[in-house]
Chain A
Amino acid sequence: DELAKNAAYIGTPGKGILAADESTGTIGKRLASINVENVEENRRALRELLFTAPGALQFISGVIFFEETLYQKTASGKLFVDVLKESGVLPGIKVDTGTVVLNGTNDETFTQGLDGLAQRCLKYYEAGARFAKWRAVLKIGTIEPTELAIQENANGLAMYSAICQQCGLVPIVEPEILVDGPHDINKCAAVTERVLAACYKALNDHHVMLEGTLLKPNMVTPGSDSPKVAPEVIAEHTVRALQRTVPPAVPAVVFLSGGQSEEEATINLNAMNKLKTKKPWSLSFSFGRALQQSTLKAWVGKAENVAKAQEAFLVRCKANSEATLGTYKGDAKLGEGAAESLHVKDYKY
């Protein structure tokens, strides 16, 4: 019951997830891009900037933490999880331990993290986490994704989900199909449908309670080396793929941004929520780069820029909130970098 309640809350219309779970290595890349040293204090300062941005948390239903951040505090000594709780935001935790190459494939991967997962989840629950996230990665190639990669990743997601639920954490199911490649939108649609069908089969076989899960899929788009299409086309293909694979018991679908620019991701989400068709789950966001990019560029690590950076963050939060309601007019004050593509080829998270 608690699982279903929390999952439904995360999908509240007008709200979405801030993915702030960059591992130490990955956040290092972000900080490097604005010439900031990758030390714990800087990582803490960035996250404090985000979580204390005035007016931003009303648009956020959940924040995904990396383990280090779950135990960190504000400069004045308040635990981040408490800051969130006070504003009605659920803390979440990344629980996978990264991807590893699948033997015998052409660089396809599976995700690790099942060992000792139950004990870790119980610990995280005690620390205040109420949902978890596990990222599986697939790619499109001439023969990829192979049956092996699909099965292995679907199974991993299902095992992780079952264990999370036993420990009181709502599992976010994330089967990211990378955007890299010259394929068109139809190919992406076919692969997405195939992968999601396999995921839900595995979840069902593992007796995962769908009402207490969330889905974090890629949007259905052309490959990164293929010509762009209109947001309405992305919306139609994406929603159709979901209609064909996601049972209504799942309360919300929280999209990953996967290299789209901040503005692109918002506009595409908006187009989906404007579509007049069957959508029994709410369609929202779980954005990392697409919420933080212009904030980072405004901050550049300087204390005197914090207010400016927080304003930039608020702008993106509000825009995405409107996108979940289909009311975004594309008029958000674009910060520096908001329209910049965030795609990195063969992105290693």
Chain B
Amino acid sequence: PTSAAFTVRASSYADELVKTAKTVASPGRGILAMDESNATCGKRLASIGLENTEANRQAYRTLLVSAPGLGDYISGAILFEETLYQSTIDGKKMVDVLVEQKIVPGIKVDKGLVPLPGSNNESWCQGLDGLSSRTAAYYQQGARFAKWRTVVSIPNGPSALAVKEAAWGLARYAAISQDSGLVPIVEPEILLDGDHGIDRTFEVAQKVWAEVFFYLAENNVMFEGILLKPSMVTPGAECKDKATPQKVADYTLKLLHRRIPPAVPGIMFLSGGQSEVEATLNLNAMNQSPNPWHVSFSYARALQNTCLKTWGGRPENVKAAQDSLLVRAKANSLAQLGKYTGEGESEEAKKGMFVKGYVY
């Protein structure tokens, strides 16, 4: 070779990516993950006795995006493809409602997990085929950030192969997304399943994040224009020793300090089966002193659970349901600022939502 290409990670969207990432990572705000696939959304609807029809999905998502003042606490909303192209029940485009609420629309772009051949019954994440044109189309439709969720399983190893594949897939997706003007949320979820202790989770998380950042760099991804969506460092769901929010915070912050370059603007934690209150308490514990990156939330179940149950599918319950969504959004907003006090939380909100072998 007569010369080697060394880029400084500039693309035509560089400035916009940085701006979008900063907007989503703004103080006191976090992400509402509402990108459940149709199948998964079906499970949610079934839990309140509703049929999995497009109309019901539309009604539920309308309820969520129209909650008044949601944008005070929510900076971004991740949508499933159907929702990105949908209108609310009163005929406005979902993305337009979000933008009016000052919420940046995002889009799930992965195509789900499938078995990884040659591994120890582990999975890998699909979705790279045609990703370039899909992300370009999503940008046209109003999306400004993307999300791709891959998983790593501790009871199954994880094998070096699974970790490498997870990290490399994320890096490829991130590079392609940035090229199309979408800020990639990088999500390698280390599943809660298992009876391992918190030290084992920490060990695996260190390895996973080292791989992720190395491959992101290899793919010339611009770190000022990404967001992370990690799992907190906790014991496995079936571990006998529970960890206090302080312990979760200490371990998680240590991991972040050891693996996350300061150029990354925001770290938006997933809740992964924690109860609504647990997820809020843990986030609050992590924000008791300043961090080099915005440390916030990207919650689905931990924001929607009580809201969904309150709605129960009935139009007359919409306002009450929206109020309960706002209650959780506000609590997590306070947690992002390190000011959450936990007063007045309901029993429902404290219920764990871990499902063994959870298929998303």
User: Chain A residues in contact with chain B, CB under 8 A?
Assistant: 142-143, 146, 186-187, 189-191, 193-194, 197-198, 200-201, 204-205, 210-211, 240, 243-249, 278-280
Contacts and interface: CB of A to CB of B under 8 A. Distances in A.
Given A143-B1, A143-B4, A247 B263 contact: no
A201 B210 contact: yes
B259 A246 contact: no
B202 to A, nearest CB: 12
B3 A142 contact: yes
Given A187-B6, A205-B210, A280-B262, A245 B257 contact: no
Given A143-B1, A189-B8, A280-B292, A248 B217 contact: no
B60 interface: no
Given A197-B217, A247-B261, 20 more contacts: A142-B2, A143-B2, A143-B3, A193-B217, A194-B217, A200-B213, A210-B258, A243-B262, A244-B261, A245-B217, A246-B262, A247-B257, A247-B260, A248-B256, A248-B257, A248-B260, A249-B258, A278-B262, A278-B263, A279-B262
Contacts, number: 72
Nearest to B2: A142
Interface in B249-302: 254, 256-263, 292
Nearest to B1: A143
Interface in B189-233: 206-207, 210, 213-214, 217-218, 223-224
Given A142-B3, A248-B292, A280-B292, A190 B259 contact: no
B12 interface: no
Contact of B214 (A197, A211, A278): A197
B210 A244 contact: no
Interface in B125-139: none
Given A186-B8, A197-B214, A247 B1 contact: no
Contacts of A142: 2-4
Contacts of B2: 142-143
Contacts of B257: 211, 247-249
Given A201-B210, A210-B258, A190 B6 contact: yes
Contacts of B224: 244
21 contacts: A143-B4, A187-B6, A189-B8, A191-B6, A197-B214, A200-B210, A201-B210, A201-B214, A204-B206, A204-B259, A210-B258, A211-B257, A243-B262, A244-B263, A245-B261, A247-B258, A247-B259, A249-B254, A249-B258, A278-B292, A279-B262
Contacts of B217: 193-194, 197, 244-245
A245 B254 CA distance: 17
A186 B3 CA distance: 16
A280 B263 CA distance: 11
Contacts of B6: 187, 190-191, 194
The 6 closest A-B pairs by CB, nearest first: A190-B6, A204-B210, A197-B217, A243-B263, A201-B214, A249-B257
Given A187-B6, A194-B217, A201-B210, A246 B1 contact: no
B262 A248 contact: yes
Contacts of A198: 214
B262 to A, nearest CB: 4
Most buried by A among B1, B4, B254: B4
A143 B207 CA distance: 30
Most buried by B among A189, A193, A240: A193
Interface string B301-335: 00000000000000000000000000000000000
B166 to A, nearest CB: 16
Most buried by B among A187, A194, A244, A279: A244
Contacts of A193: 8, 217
Contacts of A189: 8
B256 to A, nearest CB: 8
A205 B256 CA distance: 16
A244 B292 contact: no
Contacts of A248: 256-257, 260, 262, 292
Contacts of A143: 1-4
A198 B263 CA distance: 17
A211 B254 CA distance: 10
Nearest to B209: A204
A259 to B, nearest CB: 22
B208 to A, nearest CB: 11
Nearest to A185: B8
Nearest to B222: A244
A264 to B, nearest CB: 24
Contacts of B262: 243, 246, 248, 278-280
Contacts of A204: 206-207, 210, 258-259
Nearest to B3: A142
Contacts of B259: 204, 247
A326 to B, nearest CB: 18
Given A186-B8, A193-B217, A204-B210, A243 B261 contact: yes
B253 to A, nearest CB: 10
Most buried by B among A143, A205, A249: A249
